[in-house]
Chain A
Amino acid sequence: MAQFFYHTLAGQIILMLLETLAVLVPLLIAVAYLTLMERKVMAAMQRRRGPNVNGPFGLLQAFADAIKMIMKETVIPAGANRALFLFAPFLTFSLAMLAWAVIPTGNGLAVADINVGILYLLAISSLGVYGILIAGWASNSRYAFLGGLRSAAQMVSYEVSIGLVIVSVLLAVGSLNLNDIVLAQRHIWFCVPMFPMFIVFFISALAETNRAPFDLPEGESELVAGFFVEYSSLAFGLFFLGEYANMILMSGMISILFLGGWLPPLGLAPFTWVPGPLWLIFKILFCLFVFIWVRATFPRFRYDQLMRLGWKVFLPLSLVWMIATAGFLMATGLLPQVGGVN
């Protein structure tokens, strides 16, 4: 049996498909329940009950929403570019799924444990802007186009600071492999020595996923619903799922870069009994809770404030921090050597 799976082409392809399913199925269920979690948490913060009709504690609400979404009619605007209009939501959704190939859920436990894992994540998340830009253009609507343009500028701006924060982390790790990044945090999680960068990365992640308070691309008070104003039914659903999958992905990145990935908080007995993937899930859930908390708390940024924060605050701060990190590591001789962990 093992012979078949590891040494024949058909076996390898079957194995690959199974691995992919093992990541995608839990992810899709997680996305469905994240929508429920968001509504429940925000309801609790606003002293409401939230969805509580479908199933116990409203647990079937996610499926009710999905069925409603699928049963609706797909409307394509008259002047729209049909192919691109339908392509955009698929792109957004599939990119959000693709990135999960490299996220390690345990020691070496990833679909693809590649050497440039963090660059792969950066590349995939920088592609996310296309789904929004194409959707905005193909809809042939002023609101959608404005939303798309805002989003492009916003995501490109915040990618710069995300990149620099990642560089500071990589300086301390000495490897681009996500597994090595987690293992380098055995002694102390990076959120402790690099706390300011942790905050910068978190806020940039909010901007990168177009979440409140940076949800200007869909700012409903001025752009109706921004880039997906013309979308309905399943196409809208795919955007929706893509946004939530991106949130989970960004939370995963934060957990891996700053919160020690699958590592327990202390290497002691009661903590080490809990398996690694569960720790990662706890950390992702924590980040998602903060995402929702921020949404329930802060008003939306104005556009010029958003740009100022990205370029005039985060960019200089992360640049200075990067140089300071490099200097500190050089001075104390802690700079990791080529090809090794720590």
Chain B
Amino acid sequence: MLAQVVFYVFAAVLLLSGVMVISVRNPVHAVLFLILAFFNAAGLFLIAGAEFLAMLLVIVYVGAVAVLFLFVVMMLDIDFTQLREGLQRNAPIGACVGAILFAELVMAVSNWTMAPAGAGGSVQAAPGLTNTAALGTLIYTHYVLLFQACGLVLLVAMIGAIVLTLRQTGSGRRQNIEKQHARTREDTLELVQLPLGENVLEQGGFLRPGTSYYEIAVPGSYGAAEQPKEAEKEETGA
């Protein structure tokens, strides 16, 4: 009873958000509705008892793919008036493609049965396994080569994306941590022993041996600040 109610809620929200994806104007809203659709599909998986697939759908599609999708759509600068113009021109083509897809779907689903060869060859999971374990044995034991091939296809796609966006090194300023760490004191700092105060007196006596650091750090700052006060006092006194 409860499961049925939950199923209808998830299914209704899934269908509604699917419709909203293609009908809302704002592309960011469309992506957010797509995420809602993914989420509800995960809910349906949960009701069907496929908890591993449900979690994977949320982690992979909602947590990673849709984030990047949203990322890109948010950065796009879309002119809505241009989109409306395109709608008039492209509507017939879109309708044709949609009609063909729908017709094919009806033909395929209305009399679909598993081929006898395929039905015989399907692997039965051992009873008593959680569906994570069953899926694991299926993918990594029975279909490991196909799985590896899928992984290679994805690897090629990844490398392709990196190659397309790779910029030649030398553009921009890069931090070379090893170089920074390899710097030693000898490379960068030279200590010179100079007799204190020599050659400086000609410039106005900046370094005066025998006086404290604070007095010589900012020349004239201490003495100059106090002297006028005394001068003022003398003036007022006089």
Q: Which positions in A face B, CB cutoff 8 Å?
A: 9, 12, 84, 114-116, 119-120, 122-123, 126-127, 129-130, 133-134, 137, 145, 148-149, 152-153, 156, 159, 176, 304-305, 338-339
Q: A122-B59, A176-B52, A304-B175 are in contact. List 8 more A-B contacts (CB 8 A).
A: A9-B2, A84-B32, A120-B55, A126-B62, A149-B71, A152-B71, A156-B67, A339-B128
Rank and list the top 10 A-B pairs by shortest CB-CB distance, nearest first. A126-B63, A119-B55, A123-B58, A123-B59, A338-B133, A116-B51, A115-B130, A116-B55, A123-B55, A137-B74
> A9-B2, A119-B55, A152-B67 are contacts. A127–B132 as well, Cβ < 8 Å?
no
Complex-state Cα separation, A71 to B55, whole angstroms = 39
Evaluate contact between B58 and A127: CB separation under 8 angstroms.
yes
Evaluate contact between B64 and A159: CB separation under 8 angstroms.
yes
Q: Which residue of A lies closest to B128 (CB)?
A: A339
Evaluate contact between A156 and B64: CB separation under 8 angstroms.
yes
CB distance from B118 to the nearest CB of A (A): 26
> A114-B51, A137-B28 are contacts. A9–B64 as well, Cβ < 8 Å?
no
CB distance from B167 to the nearest CB of A (A): 14
Could you write out 5 A-B pairs with CB less than 8 Å apart? A9-B2, A115-B51, A116-B55, A123-B62, A130-B67
Which among B32, B58, B128 is the interface contact of A126 at CB below 8 angstroms? B58
Q: Which positions in B face A, CB cutoff 8 Å?
A: 1-2, 28, 32, 35, 51-52, 55-56, 58-59, 62-64, 67-68, 70-71, 74-75, 128-130, 132-133, 136-137, 175
Q: Which residue of A lies closest to B73 (CB)?
A: A137
Evaluate contact between A134 and B32: CB separation under 8 angstroms.
yes
> A129-B67, A149-B71, A152-B67 are contacts. A116–B52 as well, Cβ < 8 Å?
yes
Evaluate contact between B35 and A130: CB separation under 8 angstroms.
yes
Evaluate contact between A176 and B132: CB separation under 8 angstroms.
yes
Q: Which residues of B are found within 8 Å of A120, using beta-carbon distances?
A: 55
Q: Which residues of B are found within 8 Å of A156, using beta-carbon distances?
A: 64, 67-68
Evaluate contact between A338 and B137: CB separation under 8 angstroms.
yes
Complex-state Cα separation, A338 to B71, whole angstroms = 39
CB distance from A180 to the nearest CB of B (A): 11
CB distance from B71 to the nearest CB of A (A): 6
Q: Which residue of A lies closest to B177 (CB)?
A: A308
